[in-house]
Amino acid sequence: MNTDAAEKGPELRKNDQALVKASDFALALALLTRLPVHVSSFERGARAAWAYPLVGLVLGGLAATAGFIGHWLGFDAAINALISLAVLVVLTGAMHEDGLADTADGFWGGWDPARRLEIMKDSHIGAYGVIALFFGLSARWLALWMLYEASLAAAFTGLIAAAILSRAVLPALMASLPNARASGLSHSTGRCPARTAWLAAGLSIGFSFLLLGASVVGAAALAVIAGLAMARIARAKICGQTGDVLGATQQVTEIVILFTLIA
């Protein structure tokens, strides 16, 4: 994530009421990936969140393509799954994984909201973070491994759909929960309008239906349940959401979707 540019949000964000702008996709890529995307203005902030599922489409497509190349080279399912997972981690700069670790440390290492937020901001990883990272990465690798074992097509479509749907949950959290702190990336991006969240949801369902057919119903339903669960926990623990919480939510939702597609 290009955090330096994103932190300019409070100064650059304006009262722009347009639902969609052509520049939103580039802004979403700049916020959620390490891809070298030039963005001239960050004033749209959270209004560009409708494009988060499109970022998932790009990331999932690149990761699936890498796995396909591995399959073509003769690698087995376990290696292809590891390749796809590595591509996802590298392209995002492990941003979501970092959020998962920080959230685990803060939520279960602190005794009140203020202390939890303080822990989440600490750059050092604790025991809960290590455990969350280990099980999170292991679960994703196992799920992808099982999809590649099933078929290349199942892995290709499942990986992309999971990347799309898991990022569509983020605008919903941004719209429904207040920012837990008065600084940070999530705060600088701003509150997501409800219609932006609905557009993101609609796009994710549409793209995922093209990939999964009727199976999208179960995947989307469990994505909603996972998102609601994370929102409830975040509200109870820190009275809102942060960028770390959004990252953790993406990770948890992706894991749930991948295992749903295996069943």
Average pLDDT of the chain? Answer: 90
CA atoms within 13 A of residue 249's CA, in its CB half-sphere: 30
**Looking at the predicted structure, is the pLDDT value of residue 73 above 80?**
yes
Question: Residue 61 pLDDT > 70, yes or no?
Answer: yes
Count of domains forming the chain? 1
Percent of the chain clearing pLDDT 70 (strictly above): 90
Residue 122 belongs to a domain: yes
- pTM of the predicted protein model: 0.89
Residue 18 lies in a domain: no
Alpha-carbon Rg for the chain, nearest whole angstrom, is 17
**Residue 93: in which H helix or E strand, if any?**
none
pLDDT attached to residue 44: 76
Position 77 scores a pLDDT of 98
147 belongs to a structural domain: yes
Q: Write out the residue range of the structural domain in which residue 233 sits.
A: 55-262
Give the list of residues 6+ apart from residue 127 with CB closer than 8 angstroms, or none. 105, 109
Span 209-236, average pLDDT? 96
State residue 123's pLDDT score: 86
Is residue 13 scored above 70 in pLDDT?
Answer: no
Q: Does residue 181 lie within any of the structural domains?
A: yes
Q: Is 211 contained in some domain?
A: yes
Q: Once rounded to an integer, what is the mean pLDDT over residues 19-29?
A: 88
Amino acid identity, position 193: P
For residue range 146-202, what is the model confidence (pLDDT) as tens digits?
A: 999 999 999 999 999 999 999 999 999 999 999 987 765 666 667 788 999 999 999
* C-beta separation of 244 from 95 below 8 A: no
Residue 84 near residue 64, CB atoms below 8 Å: yes
183 found inside a domain: yes
For tokens 């996802």, name the residue.
88
- Identify the pLDDT of residue 18: 81
Shortest CA distance to 7 belongs to which of 37, 34, 30? Answer: 30
Residue 56 pLDDT: 98
Establish if 172 belongs to a structural domain: yes
Does residue 12 lie within any of the structural domains? Answer: no
Higher pLDDT, 235 or 189: 235
Check residue 232 and give its pLDDT: 97
The pLDDT value given to residue 212: 96
